[in-house]
Chain A
Amino acid sequence: MVSTLSAPTDPGREVGGTVPGGHAFPTTPGQTLIHGSFGEGRGQRLAVAAGCRMLHQVTEALVPVAIGVTVDQAIAPGNPGALLWCLAGITLLFMVLTFSWRIGTRLNTSVFSHGEHSLRQLLVGKVLDPLHSGAGRGPGRLLSISTSDTRHTAGLSWVVTEQLSAFAALLTAAVALVLISWQLGATVLLATAAFMLLMHLVTTPLERRAVQQQAAAAESAHVASDLVTGLRVLKGIGAVDGAARRYRAASRSSLEAALSMARAKALFTGVSLALSGTFLAAIACLASTMAANGTITVGQLVTVVGLAQFIKDPMTALAFLGAEIREKRAVAGRLSGLFAEENDLDQRVPGTPAPHLGMPDVDRTPGVARGLSVAPFAGSRFVMNLDVGSITGVTASPANARRLIELLTYQRPLTRGELSLHGRDATDLGPEEVARMVFVSDHDGAVFSASVRDNLATDTVDTALLAASGLDEVLRRLPAGLDSRIGEHGRTLSGGQRQRLLLGRALHQPQPVLVLHEPTSAVDSVTEARIAESLGRLRGRPLILITGSPALLGICDSVVDLDAPQPGNVHGSEASNAP
């Protein structure tokens, strides 16, 4: 499978999060369900699919009827012409049956898959939307909750066609039964309904037990795979025996759950089979009595027995309609709740003009507050130099460094005064504009399963920047240089190699301000010293280094300590305190 991170064809969609196709998000459970199964022209295809599946069920219902008719018309009287006609009719019946199933299934699968796809794209679009913070949920968690929900929600299309075809089948069977004998037909239909109710009452607790056991089995399977994931750690500390014991315990409890599920399931199917067998015996007895009286023919007897067995399935399907719709609504509600979440990072006052692109020219605009002003915690304010060629160091505890990065990357809604660039407040600029001005390279930034070149996220690779980041050395070890693929999360690279890739990517970004967070924490001292030296020589746009590394702090013009006690309101390097 080829995957390249090429630019999208639509230039208007610069940043992730615009709704694909430009439609509004469905914001209620109902709208979400409808979008999944009927939206974007899926409705017409679904209608055809439903028609085909109904036709298929009708023809299935007619097979026992056809057998009965053949017995009556051809076999009992010994009529060869009737036999030919009957066999021709059965052939036609099967042709309709098989083609309607084929077309219906294909169309329905297509509607379902594309509906799921569309919902999934909406969901990912929302997660990636730069104006939406995700309200404290980790995006990974968000994803794991919601991908199965898109599948369930789009599954409405199957429910729709299944229910319609069940209805058609039941109707066909009812008509056939009533035509044979209306008393018998009414009895069979009423008895079937009553019988289904009885069976539902008997088997529901059994079924619930089976579902609970299934959850238990899944849980212990999870424990097992967790142990395997940490296998290298286990071997490292020699915890082989302990791990084997724990795995055995997990495996045994999984076995217990699986066995008790099997017992519950066997009981469940056994009871329902016995009940339906009893029901069939009763119907057969009744119909045979009528046939013996001459009320119905022998062929009709065959048809009645056949239909009595057949109508259970569509009746069951119809009985679960309510429950299925409720379940789908609940699932769709989780999705639509997410879709309906407001874009909490969209804090710009409505009606204000779009901000200027790029940095203000401070040298020609007298009187502006120069520098990057941040207030990462209440009552604090730090100003960092943004002059061309400046390098500012920031030392901070991991928690404070995290706060600063959250601020600089606009990960949560901000209040006025928390972040401003050359006197322009971030809440006036908006997250997208802030991201166009400041590039923050987090030390645990993500790399993607693509080539090194794709991961550099630039159109033109600059060899000088590759050298400055120490990435040139990594590239020499890679089989295909810049075009080497680096696997999922860049796992084929070591920690130090991946960190140099992140640094190389940061240096290639066009933003006028660059912020690097612990860019060398995983590289060895030799390489760190080399990187520090080349960063010190680079001196172009302003650079801010959030780091505890002495080598990196050594190249800074000034250092801001976020952890220092706060005597006054304003802290900052001497160079950047000018108003």
Chain B
Amino acid sequence: MPPSQRTLADTREVDSAAGLPIAGTRATWNHTLRVFARRKGLMALMVVTLLAGSATGLLVPAVLGWMVDIAGRGELSGALVPAAAVLLTAAIASAALDSWGSIAMAELGQHGLAELREDVFATALAQPSEDLERAGSGDLISRVSDDVEAVNEAIGSVLPSFITALFTISLTIVGLGAIDPRFAIAALLGIPIHVFALRSFLRASGPLYRRVRIAESQRGQFLLEATAGVNTLRALGHGSRHLARIAHSSLEAIALVMQTVVIRTRFQGRLNVAELVGLCSILAVGYWLVGDGSVSIGAATAAALFFHRLFGPIGVILMNVDDLQLAGAGLSRLVGALHGASGAAVSPLLSDDVGSPRDGVVLTGIDAGYLPGKNILSGLDLHIREGEHLALVGASGAGKTTLARVIAGSLEPTAGSVLWNGVHYGSAEGTPGLGRSAVLISQDIHVFSGTIAENLRLAAPAASDAELLAALATTGADWVDALPQGLATAVGGGGLAITGDRAQHLALVRALLSDAPVVVLDEATAEDGSRSSQLLEEAALRAVRGRTAISVAHRLSQAAQADRVLVMEDGRVIDAGTHEELLSRDGLYARLWLAWSANRSLS
């Protein structure tokens, strides 16, 4: 299991109810229109070419009707030549225009989508971490991957055929009307059935598809858990239980899929009824109009062929409505991530009631927590001198991680201020202009897809290879040299898999490379027991040398090396001082140390 874990003090159900905001229909439309308005020329080109393409496409059945009339009159075959020439030209022109139109549409849509997803990502980065935590990082990931994919899919394949179909249908109705208005009326007779079929389909399909997705992702999760935890399952002898659990969720998903097939086929059946009604009406009208001499047999034939050609486009429109709905939902989630963020970052830190500036990190009256109304820290004051090494000690749930995150600026306090050398920096991560004052190395470790060098340069984009190698040497990460391509070795997803402690080691090298004056280490060396943790402990010391450092100490040896130790309990600092001072005071720390060192000497 990857050692990425949430160190939240409170346990909570993962709940998307408090997720990132979702934009309303109007906001989504406004955004889309603004994006399109930036490329007016392209949009005009798209509409004109697609309309012209559909119009020339409609010449085909008209010309066929013309040929029927020529053939019906028994004229010489030479009379067919102009008709055949028009037919050929129309077919080729229509194909060319359709192609241009869909390229224009792709340009328009894909550029808009790329801008949107980049904006969403930048906004998410600028957002206070705790907002993202509350929403669950999964929400953002699914927006930037699944939703972008849904919109992309719509732009790439659904939308072109949808718009072409829409144009074809409207122009066909116009064409039928041009032959005789009564044909157009006959063709429209099926529309009430279409509307009814579509409405009842959409009403049922939305919730059902959501349930299918939930059931399928549940099955995927069970599958993943079982195969990733295969050794545990073998040890427990629980393989068949999990196989049964997967089977159960899978059959549940299948039952739902079968329900979707039922409503889809029912929908299709209703469309067939609409087609039947329309076709019979057109034929009957044709019979009537030919009978009273107002149109030729060729015209009646053309009308029937016109209508037969509509079956495809109408199907495209109606059967793709749910895909478009999905894309629309994705779009509104993307736009929502963009708009909802800005208001949330209002920070109480920007008040100007700053006392006499002191050097180092100054925390005044800090209240902080993860859930509204449930503060873990309250009214906490703390001064860390520049260059001081501070260790936080205490039991789980004492508030060490919360305090560490407040100091690192990754958790916005609900009240109070955090200053670095007299300047606010709590919100610096959202405002690059202020620069970065603190880095946080937590147990959340992630190896990014890319080379080792790319992973390290995230912290120092301008660092040369030599500087990277020097940093690796300083922190004792000589194992990088032993990798197949050294710094250029691809790691992460798709690359070489590296162990948790090495990933942690890379995180410490990043801390060394970053130029932030404050380094916060939260459980950074608690990854594994024994020897590798000694190596990481050593690396951590090198990484923070000469800087202000705050570490959450799990091993008391870390605390013993610090300039000052803070002992925490229930969100309060109950004791503080150097290692020696605390030992002499005979408090909680002294008791802990006694137990710890007794065990040490034994080993």
Contact = CB atoms under 8 A, between A and B. Distances in A.
Contacts of B74: 292-294
A244 B394 CA distance: 37
A86 B225 contact: no
Given A284-B87, A398-B532, A441-B235, 10 more contacts: A1-B218, A106-B265, A127-B226, A140-B227, A226-B492, A227-B448, A232-B444, A240-B429, A302-B301, A447-B229
Contacts of A276: 91
Interface stretch (A196-204, A267-275, A382-390): A267-275
A281 B444 CA distance: 66
Q: Which of B94, B125, B234, B443 has the most CB of A within 10 A?
A: B234
A489 interface: yes
A224 B144 contact: yes
A330 interface: no
A237 B511 contact: yes
Nearest to A268: B99
Contact of A105 (B70, B261, B305, B556): B261
Contacts of B124: 228, 231
B490 to A, nearest CB: 12
Interface in A142-199: 142-143, 147
A340 interface: no
A246 B96 CA distance: 37
Nearest to A121: B247
Interface in A76-124: 76, 78, 80, 83, 86-87, 90-91, 94, 97-99, 101-102, 105-106, 109-110, 113-114, 117, 120-121, 124
Interface stretch (A12-20, A31-39, A567-575): A12-20
A397 B532 CA distance: 8
A491 B530 contact: no
Interface string B295-336: 001001100110010000000000000000000000000000
B156 A258 contact: yes
B140 A5 contact: no
Given A235-B410, A298-B68, A398-B501, A143 B224 contact: yes
A266 B103 contact: yes
Interface in A256-288: 258-259, 261-263, 265-267, 269-271, 273-274, 276-278, 280-281, 284-285, 288
Contacts of A70: 283, 304
B374 to A, nearest CB: 12
B14 A491 contact: yes
B99 A548 contact: no
Interface stretch (A360-368, A422-430, A516-524): A516-524
A238 B439 contact: yes
Contacts of B266: 102
A8 interface: yes
B118 interface: yes
Given A75-B283, A236-B439, A231 B556 contact: no
Given A237-B439, A284-B64, A479-B11, A306 B251 contact: no
Interface residues of A, number: 181
A549 B595 CA distance: 12
Contacts of A4: 245
A547 interface: yes
Interface string A421-459: 000000000011001100111111111110000000100
A492 B11 contact: yes
B291 A518 contact: no
Contacts of B106: 258-259, 262-263, 266
Given A110-B258, A237-B439, A494 B7 contact: yes
What 9 pairs between A and B have smallest CB-CB spacing? A16-B239, A277-B91, A548-B530, A446-B229, A262-B106, A270-B99, A550-B599, A230-B446, A291-B71
A557 interface: no
A273 B224 contact: no
Contacts of B72: 291, 298
A539 to B, nearest CB: 18
Interface stretch (B178-186, B455-463, B571-579): B455-463
A76 B396 CA distance: 91
A129 B275 CA distance: 54
A529 interface: yes
Q: Which of A4, A242, A527 has the most CB of B within 10 A?
A: A242
6 contacts: A18-B240, A76-B297, A124-B223, A232-B132, A285-B80, A291-B72
Given A236-B441, A236-B442, A273-B95, A302 B305 contact: yes
A554 B598 contact: yes
Interface in A458-496: 473, 477-479, 484-489, 491-496
Contact of B243 (A128, A239, A442, A554): A128
Interface stretch (B109-117, B165-173, B341-349, B469-477): B109-117
Contacts of A477: 10-11, 397
Contacts of B432: 240-241
A105 B272 CA distance: 15
Interface residue range, chain B: 35 or more
A277 B76 CA distance: 24
Given A259-B107, A298-B72, A524-B554, A8 B126 contact: no
Contacts of A231: 124-125, 132, 137, 140
A324 to B, nearest CB: 21
A15 to B, nearest CB: 5
B14 A527 contact: no
B51 to A, nearest CB: 17
A75 B290 contact: yes
B26 interface: no
Nearest to B230: A139
Contacts of A518: 528-530
A221 B449 CA distance: 12
Contact of A398 (B224, B448, B528): B528
Given A238-B514, A436-B237, A221 B71 contact: no
B61 to A, nearest CB: 9
B211 to A, nearest CB: 9
Contacts of A222: 449, 493-494
Given A75-B290, A139-B230, A477-B11, A292 B556 contact: no
Contact of A525 (B67, B397, B441, B592): B592
A549 B533 CA distance: 11
B48 interface: no
A409 to B, nearest CB: 6
A234 B125 contact: yes
A301 B458 contact: no
A449 B67 contact: no
A434 B599 CA distance: 33
B592 A228 contact: no
A234 B122 contact: no
Given A139-B228, A227-B448, A236-B408, A262 B305 contact: no
Contact of A20 (B6, B110, B247, B595): B247
Given A16-B233, A113-B258, A101 B284 contact: no
A288 B67 contact: yes
B129 A232 contact: yes
B262 A106 contact: yes
Contacts of A319: none
Interface string B255-281: 001100110111011001101100110
A497 interface: yes
Contacts of A432: 237
A277 B60 contact: yes
B523 to A, nearest CB: 7
B145 A228 contact: yes
Contacts of B149: 221
A281 B87 contact: yes
A398 B536 CA distance: 13
A237 B459 contact: yes
A226 to B, nearest CB: 5
A491 B5 contact: yes
Interface in B77-100: 77, 79-80, 83-84, 87-88, 90-92, 94-96, 98-100
Contact of A255 (B114, B231, B297): B114
